[in-house]
Structure 1
Amino acid sequence: MQFKDIIGQEKTKALLLKEAKKGRISHAQMFIGDKGIGKLPLAMAFAQYLLCESPGANDSCGTCNACVKVKQLVHPDVHYVFPVVKSAQTKVSVSDDRRQQWNAFVKQNTYFNLQMWQEFLEEMGKNAQIGVDESRSILKKLSLKSYSGKYKIMIIWLPEKMNTSAANKLLKILEEPPENTLFFLVCDAIETILPTIISRTQIIKVPNLKIEEVKSYLIKEKNLPENQAQSIASLTQGNLVEGVLMSQGDVANNQYFESFVKLMRSAYAIDAIALMNVAEELGGIGRENQKNFLRYSLHMFRESLIYNYLGEEKVNVKDEEKAFLNKFAKFINNQNITDLITAFDEAIYHIDRNANAKLLFSDLVIKLTKLIKKGV
């Protein structure tokens, strides 16, 4: 992975290059930010740059023996740790037990999330974590000498999936690592990580991608029409992974639209039975789809405001969505937009933290009836 292969993130790239050139590389760095914005590719590209035999001013050479090995995920000084579903039946307890599948998956997917990784392994719904056996494996690997004579690099993807025992076992080595040992922790939810881990790392804040960057990628790499790419990029708010998933077909988007229409009509009519039916449906579609539906709803609320104040020619929606907004948009205005955004944002937050989805959506639809009427 080279920096040039990563979409956007020019400031973060410049920061990492500056560290390397000055020789002031923190032994433990935590890449934080939203999902789907390229934190893992940045860590991988940085590792390749540091091990490159002929690094340039702005990137690794990409052709030396070290670069080739890092790109192929076989460099002996670059180690990967990631959540696994522990199973006596499959004899999986640490990342190395899934390393063959990891290599195949990462080579095919530069940008991905935990859901995609678990779908690849056919382990959706199972508890993937980083356990204490993994910590023992990390300590063992880092006790060995560097193969290249440069750095030993440990890339930990989703350290928030580390259980307490595993985290506590790594505290000492994070604070006093062996010479020329680097930890790159790639995190989606820093608030769930032990403070003692966070305090031992340098925080690298990775910003969301720009909507134009996501749009450009979808047009060039996924061959989407400009208006569809713009609509998806606006909806995903800089999350490239979600943008790619949505670009793979209109089925999910159509389902979100149908659910949104059903929910809004039921809320306006204060149809309690219909509302509870929608809440029941949404409670059973899985966490990632639930969050995507909520994001889609936020997108439609924002487009409603644009429709109201700037006119229909300024909205980024498909024809059937525009037809619905023609009647619906007037109910979204300055009387209720702030409360709607807060309610749906909070729902996403709680789903991310394993809230009971059926209870959450039941509560949300009740709030929605009041908020829609507020805009009448």
Structure 2
Amino acid sequence: MAFSKVIGQAQVKHSLVELVQQNRLSHALLFLGPEGSGALPLALAFSQYVVCEKVNGKQEAAAAGPSLFGGEPVPAAKTAPMTDACGVCPACVRASQMVHPDIHYSYPVIPRKPGDKPVSTDYGSEWREFMEQYPYGNAYDWLQFIGAENKQGNITAQECNDIIHKLSLKSFESGYKVLILWMPEYLGNEGNKLLKLIEEPPANTLFLLVAENESLILQTILSRTQLVKIPLPDVADIQEALVTRSRLEEAQARRIAVLSEGNYHEALQLIRNADDDWQGVLREWLNAILKNGPVAQVKWIDDISKLGRERQKQFLRYFNHLLEQAVRLRYIDASLLPIPEGEKDIALRLNKIADVAQQQAIIGELDRAAYYIERNAHAKMLFHALTIKLLHILRERTVVHIN
């Protein structure tokens, strides 16, 4: 993958290129970015840039060849430093197909059958297919792609041993051996096996760790890496990507980009579930809370709990988005805000039933609920508790904490 295929992130790309051009490349980098930021595509693009034959000068040296009368090769003409991999040299072709012999990949996996001790290479073909189809996918997408269902993915002690073995070998083609370790959050204490390798790696060995949650990474590993923070792309970059890659109309792309708040993974999920009537689901919930009573609330909770985790998160984000629009409508003329009529109607109604303090309290509860859904909370219990909290906030103007 080339840098040009990564959405936005111009400043990060520039910084990574400078690390190579100015010979300041650390042996271990931690690409830390939230879901949908493109941290993994950036790591893939950077690994291709590092092994590119034009970037590191191999092709120029080969093109120069020996001088006319033997002896030293004729020096090639100097060119401006490259800011992206060429994409056409043999190394780039292999890297883009994820079959370069000097670029290794490690990621969470599951046993295919009880008693197995799986390693990442067991899922090599699935990994290449997943990255071709979903380069901005998250860990949940990957585990579902390999049929994990409710199984917990892991990066095992056996995988750590395999990493140590692979990186102890000499490089085949490139000047570097590169390991891309995706989701080090899935490393348990067995990750300490890698400490010596990360601290004192073989010559020209590059570790690229790609993570979303810094607090879940072993501190012993974290302290041995150079941090590269990956922000979410700008809304304009997401909009452009949706127009060019997903062939959306400008207005629809703008709406989805704003709703996803820079999370490209979330934007793609919104496109896939474009037929979901979140406005109707929200109206039904609010009516159950404020008017129809416990029977309607239980029915709504049963319905929402049957949806998948990703769709539940989307619904909560959509409600959050409408609350933010409602707050804006209190201070900005509605004609100046590019809000669809349906959303504007609900936002104005939210302003009638809740003041700013109540809306802020609800936003906080929705954020917490999304956090717990990410961590596999029991959906029925979570939405039951959330319904009770919203009932108290809206009816009694109080915030309750239910543990």
- What TM-score do the two structures reach when normalised by structure 1? 0.92
Shift of 1:361: 1.9
1:278 maps onto 2:300 in alignment: yes
Alignment partners' CA distance in 2, 1:182 and 1:71? 18
Alignment partners' CA distance in 2, 1:93 and 1:304? 50
Contact 1:215 1:230 in 2 (8 A): yes
Read off the aligned partner of 1:359 and give its amino acid letter.
M
Shift of 1:188: 1.4
**Which runs of structure 2 are paired with 1:128-143 in the superposition (5 Å)?**
128-143=153-168
Read off the aligned partner of 1:260 and give its amino acid letter.
L
Of residues 115-124 and 313-322 in structure 1, the stretch that sits farther from structure 2 once superposed is 313-322
Contact 1:333 1:375 in 2 (8 A): no
**Which runs of structure 2 are paired with 1:1-376 in the superposition (5 Å)?**
1-55=1-55, 56-88=81-113, 93-165=118-190, 167-252=191-276, 254=277, 256-269=278-291, 271-373=293-395
2:357 aligns to what SS in structure 1?
coil
Of residues 355-364 and 181-190 in structure 1, the stretch that sits farther from structure 2 once superposed is 355-364
The one-character-per-residue Cα deviations of 1:320-376 (angstroms, maximum 9, x if unpaired) are: 434434534423432322212211112222222333333222221111112223679
Of residues 204-213 and 311-320 in structure 1, the stretch that sits farther from structure 2 once superposed is 311-320
Shift of 1:284: 3.6
List gaps (5 residues or longer) in structure 2.
Answer: 56-80, 399-403
List gaps (5 residues or longer) in structure 1.
Answer: none
Contact 2:12 2:230 in 1 (8 A): yes
Alignment partners' CA distance in 2, 1:160 and 1:63? 34
Shift of 1:32: 0.9
Alignment partners' CA distance in 2, 1:247 and 1:335? 32
Read off the aligned partner of 1:9 and give its amino acid letter.
Q
Looking at CA atoms only, which structure, 1 or 2, has the larger radius of gyration?
Answer: 2
Of residues 288-297 and 319-328 in structure 1, the stretch that sits farther from structure 2 once superposed is 319-328
Shift of 1:306: 2.8
The percent identity for this pair of structures is: 36
Read off the aligned partner of 2:164 and give its amino acid letter.
L
1:30 aligns to what SS in structure 2?
strand
RMSD: 2.3
Alignment partners' CA distance in 2, 1:14 and 1:374? 53
State how many pairs are aligned: 373
The one-character-per-residue Cα deviations of 1:281-302 (angstroms, maximum 9, x if unpaired) are: 3334232222222111101111
